[in-house]
Amino acid sequence: MAVFVTGAGGFLGQTLVNILIGQGKQVLGFDYNAPPEATLAKWKGKAEFVKGDIRDAALIADLVKKSGTTDPIIHLAGILTAGCDRDPQAAMAINMGGTNNVLDAAVVNGKRRVIFASTIGVYGRGLPQPITEDMKKEPDGWYGLTKMAAEEIGLLYVRRHGLDFRALRFAADDQGQMVVTKIVAQLVRAFKRNKYGKGVNHRVETRRGKPRRHPRHVTFGNTAVIKPLRKGLGKIR
């Protein structure tokens, strides 16, 4: 049994794997790009790493099966704003199709909980304060759009298959470690939460619609869990 972490070679994924193995979890990490050799050496015996493409449905099915039926899947693999705008077809195939592959595999392997890395980009620009879950989603680029669609695909799996799917709409900041730590803390909390848990709004300070540059201005209130949205509960603090 292992936590299956997609995007494990990335910025958040590497930190998350380090935290999970520090908590004694077994991890199966997956990414198109491998983390540095030194990181792989540190993971040895605790986290296995497999290189591959999230668009490869058969590979994802095999890996999810291999990682068991009980521990969650934390799905971070995806392409970000610039990559999405450069290649919208790839954005759809990776961010939406890749998520669909993960969800399909989760359903047939114990309906394992899937925690999905979404973004405040689903809301678009010019955000009021505070940002709340029930705000209208008006993404203004392929990144937000594909993440919003991936959330909707996840909700379809909730409705059709009773899958435990949660999306965390992260707010980005470019100041590095502190933000990584906060985002990863959200992931770890979501990972630990009981089924469906409580939905909590983001509180993100922004300046003229953009996340502020200094991390102390960015407060990640808590995890945003998607099920309350589906139930129309909207504002939950």
Binding site for ligand NAD (CB under 6 A): 7, 9-13, 31-33, 53-55, 76-80, 94, 117, 119, 170, 172, 179, 183
Within 10 A of 10 (CB to CB), how many other CB atoms are there?
20
Residue 6 CB, nearest approach to ligand NAD (Å): 6
Question: Which residue lies nearest ligand NAD, judged by its C-beta?
Answer: 10
| Nearer to ligand NAD among residue 71 and residue 151 (C-beta) | 151
| Nearer to ligand NAD among residue 83 and residue 162 (C-beta) | 83
Residue 9 CB, nearest approach to ligand NAD (Å): 4
Residue 147 CB, nearest approach to ligand NAD (Å): 6
| Nearer to ligand NAD among residue 29 and residue 199 (C-beta) | 29
| Nearer to ligand NAD among residue 21 and residue 76 (C-beta) | 76
